[in-house]
């Protein structure tokens, strides 16, 4: 355990694939990392059932079990895991300050941000009740389980267009619900959707209820112009209305894009602040996979180690 009176060598914020992978690398490098889990230890994988696309799990693995494996591996090499939330930061000087939810002030020579992103949801009762029972926010993660079945996608941007196009390769029919009379997706993505024969676009259409008790059996939708309702047969319901990166606490300190994703120096995990690194879905709005998050967590730890060595700290 690190000396509580001296600045820590490395603090990791976030306990998903990126954070735990960074912890494994940092711990093995002797950086004595302290990892703050935040309010959602394990991140989005804690609401994911079968994970079949992560290397090393030939039979698949439950998301929570996978995160438990990651945690145990990080702790095995000496990572100290603290189940607290970081509520404030000060990146002014070479020694960075962080405040926990209990108002403890933490000082650290390096900080790895792995706070992830949260999927945006519609907020209806049936959506929450049927999560992991046919309701998903990631077609690439879960689409395989709906091969040969009829599904519904909600959204109008590039994410929705990509999800619908991906699912159209697996499913005989994809219903795309667009609440306006036009899409926000880029022109090329719209054209791709329009040209895919098994994607049916429902314009001016919103979800009223997802049908089913223990599994999705259909979706009740309504036309927001006419008020007319209909039930669409479906066993899968994919919400593709975007993600929100969990980066509010870093506002004003780090560069972000217009939606809040942290901007890193290309080819690295470095932010504009020396000694502060970003990894995982907090800085990746393109891939958003467990394996890519883990990869950037590795990058962040290696970058942090080099930074500390260069400054005579590690």
Among all residues, which ones are annotated catalytic?
Answer: 138, 141-142
Which single residue is written with the structure tokens 């990146």? 91
What one-character DSSP code corresponds to residue 171?
Answer: -
Find residue 107's DSSP bridge partners.
97
Interatomic CA distance for residues 46 and 59, integer angstroms: 18
Interatomic CA distance for residues 253 and 137, integer angstroms: 30
Maximum distance among all alpha carbons in the chain?
Answer: 69
Interatomic CA distance for residues 81 and 46, integer angstroms: 17
Reduced to 3 states (helix: H, G, I; strand: E, B; else coil), residue 251 is coil
Torsion sign across C-alpha atoms 258, 115, 18, 138: negative
Chain centroid to CA 197: 31
Reduced to 3 states (helix: H, G, I; strand: E, B; else coil), residue 192 is helix
């Amino acid at each position: 355990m690190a000396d509580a009176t001296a600045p820590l060598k490395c603090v990791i914020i976030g306990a998903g694939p990126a954070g735990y992978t960074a912890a494994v690398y940092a711990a093995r490098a002797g950086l004595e990392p302290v990892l703050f889990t935040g309010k959602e230890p394990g991140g989005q994988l804690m609401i994911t059932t079968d994970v079949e696309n992560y290397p090393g799990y030939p039979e698949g693995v439950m998301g929570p079990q996978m995160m438990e494996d990651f945690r145990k591996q990080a702790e095995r090499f000496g990572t100290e895991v603290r189940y607290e939330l970081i509520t404030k930061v000060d990146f002014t000087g070479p020694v960075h300050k962080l405040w926990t939810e209990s108002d403890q002030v933490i000082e650290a020579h390096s900080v790895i941000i792995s706070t992830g992103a949260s999927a945006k949801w519609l907020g209806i009762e049936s959506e929450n009740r049927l999560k992991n029972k046919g309701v998903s926010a990631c077609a690439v993660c879960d689409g395989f389980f709906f091969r040969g079945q009829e599904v519904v996608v909600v959204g109008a941007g590039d994410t929705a267009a990509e999800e619908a196009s991906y699912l159209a390769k697996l499913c005989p029919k994809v219903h795309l619900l667009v609440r306006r009379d036009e899409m926000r997706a880029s022109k090329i993505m719209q054209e791709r959707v329009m040209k895919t024969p098994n994607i049916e676009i429902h314009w001016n259409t919103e979800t009223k209820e997802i049908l089913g008790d223990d599994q999705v059996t259909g979706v009740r939708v309504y036309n927001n112009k006419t008020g007319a309702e209909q039930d669409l047969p479906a066993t899968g319901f994919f919400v593709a209305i975007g993600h929100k990166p969990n980066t509010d606490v870093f506002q004003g300190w780090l560069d972000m894009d217009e939606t809040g994703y942290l901007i890193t120096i290309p080819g690295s995990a470095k932010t504009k602040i020396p000694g502060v690194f970003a990894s995982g879905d907090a800085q990746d709005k393109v891939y958003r996979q467990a394996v890519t998050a883990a990869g950037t967590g590795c990058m962040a730890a290696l970058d942090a180690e080099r930074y500390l060595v260069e400054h005579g700290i590690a």
